[in-house]
């Protein structure tokens, strides 16, 4: 059984499912949980949410300042820094679990690590700013590499159910994702990141249609062959909304189903909005499948 120390926590892969709680420091999260409203209390809200998540069972907190919903506009670097840094600093004072910075910008990642973050979650798998790999190697911190084929032209918006992707083509869905993840892994290794510091994420909802996401969820174990811990982020995603015909704020049961199946198929970390509920789902699923 392999392990990874992140901050003061040690993660033993295969022993249990770990929970990553989502801290969306945005005004426009697809899930409606963005913490920036028309007041000046968003930093306090974010820190309080992080504290609550840890009490509810989160093992990692993932802080992001730029919405990744289908069709979202890119955020300027300085604006992203203004959102995430005070929250990371506040969380670092209040919680004793690793903090992850959800960004694909090396300047944001560097500042976040200096402010108290312990790892980087790159939703573009080093395809936008490969220098993130050099940063993580120099800082000796873990890096999450996510698969992403998001293209604005393929994003379709529906008033009730939100955005989703259509017309995204793969020659071989699982094989293409695996090869593209391996490309990201190769970039990380070339920069000097050790294998034990790499976590992979097949990117549910990022440049994949509803049917492709369902196939991906059912075949998550395909990616175990790459040899790295797997993070799965299905929480409240469009695959749930369009399968059940439910808006983002009514997807907790669908999320629970994807979490349970994902764990059975080999997920090591589950990235979720509803920490309390999904920590219980993970604990029950672990009791069944990790025997």
Give me the tens of pLDDT residue by residue for the chain, a chain 291 residues long: 699 999 999 999 999 999 999 999 987 655 555 666 567 788 998 999 999 999 999 999 999 998 776 666 788 999 999 999 999 999 999 999 999 999 999 999 999 999 999 999 999 999 999 999 999 999 999 999 999 987 655 555 665 667 666 767 899 999 999 999 999 999 999 999 999 999 999 999 998 999 999 999 999 999 999 999 999 999 999 999 999 999 988 999 999 999 999 999 999 999 999 999 999 999 999 999 998
Element (H, E) at 163: strand 162-165
Could you tell me the residue range of the domain that residue 204 belongs to? 3-289
- Burial class (CB within 10 angstroms; exposed 0-12, middle 13-18, buried 19+) of 174: middle
Give this prediction's pTM: 0.93
Residues near 63 by beta carbon (within 8 Å), at least 6 away in sequence = 23, 25, 46, 84, 87, 88, 91, 99, 100, 101, 102, 112, 117
- Total count of domains within the chain: 1
- For residue 38, what pLDDT is reported? 62
Tell me the C-alpha distance between 23 and 42, whole Å.
11
Tokens of 98: 């690793």
- For residue 158, what pLDDT is reported? 66
- For residue 156, what pLDDT is reported? 59
- For residue 29, what pLDDT is reported? 55
Give me the residue label for tokens 């690793």.
98
Tokens of 48: 């309080």
Give me the residue label for tokens 């790295």.
228
- For residue 97, what pLDDT is reported? 98
- For residue 75, what pLDDT is reported? 86
Catalytic residues: 237, 271
- How far from the centroid of its chain's Cα atoms is residue 128's Cα? 17
Give the domain CATH number at 182.
3.20.20.20
Tell me the C-alpha to C-alpha distance, in Å, between residue 165 and each of 94, 152, 215, 271. Answer: 38, 9, 15, 20
Tell me the C-alpha distance between 123 and 3, whole Å.
23
Sign of the four-CA dihedral 105, 110, 115, 116? positive
């Amino acid at each position: 059984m392999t392990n990874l120390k992140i901050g003061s926590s040690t993660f033993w892969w295969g022993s249990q499912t770990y929970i990553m709680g989502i801290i969306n420091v945005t005004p426009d999260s697809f899930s409606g949980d963005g913490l920036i409203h028309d007041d000046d209390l968003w930093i306090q809200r974010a820190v309080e949410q992080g504290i609550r998540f840890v009490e509810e069972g989160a093992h990692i907190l993932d802080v992001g300042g730029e919405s990744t919903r289908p069709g979202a506009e890119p955020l300027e670097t300085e604006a992203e820094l203004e959102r995430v840094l005070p929250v990371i600093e506040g969380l670092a004072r209040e919680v004793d679990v690793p903090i992850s910075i959800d960004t694909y910008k090396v300047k944001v990642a560097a500042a976040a690590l200096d402010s108290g973050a312990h790892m980087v979650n790159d939703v573009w798998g080093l395809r936008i700013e490969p220098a993130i790999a050099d940063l993580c190697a120099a800082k000796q911190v873990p890096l999450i590499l996510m698969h992403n084929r998001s293209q604005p032209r393929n994003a379709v918006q529906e008033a009730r159910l939100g955005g989703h992707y259509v017309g995204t083509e793969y020659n071989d869905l699982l094989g293409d994702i695996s090869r593209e993840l391996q490309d990201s892994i190769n970039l990380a290794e070339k920069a000097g990141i050790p294998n034990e510091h790499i976590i992979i994420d097949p990117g549910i909802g990022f440049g994949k249609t509803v049917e492709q996401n369902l196939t991906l969820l059912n075949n998550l174990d395909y990616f175990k062959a790459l040899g790295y811990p797997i993070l799965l982020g299905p929480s409240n995603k469009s695959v749930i909304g369009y399968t059940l015909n439910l808006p983002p704020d009514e997807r907790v049961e669908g999320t629970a189903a994807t979490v349970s199946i994902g764990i059975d198929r080999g997920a090591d970390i589950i990235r979720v909005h509803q920490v309390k509920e999904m920590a219980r789902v993970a604990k029950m699923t672990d009791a069944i499948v990790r025997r």
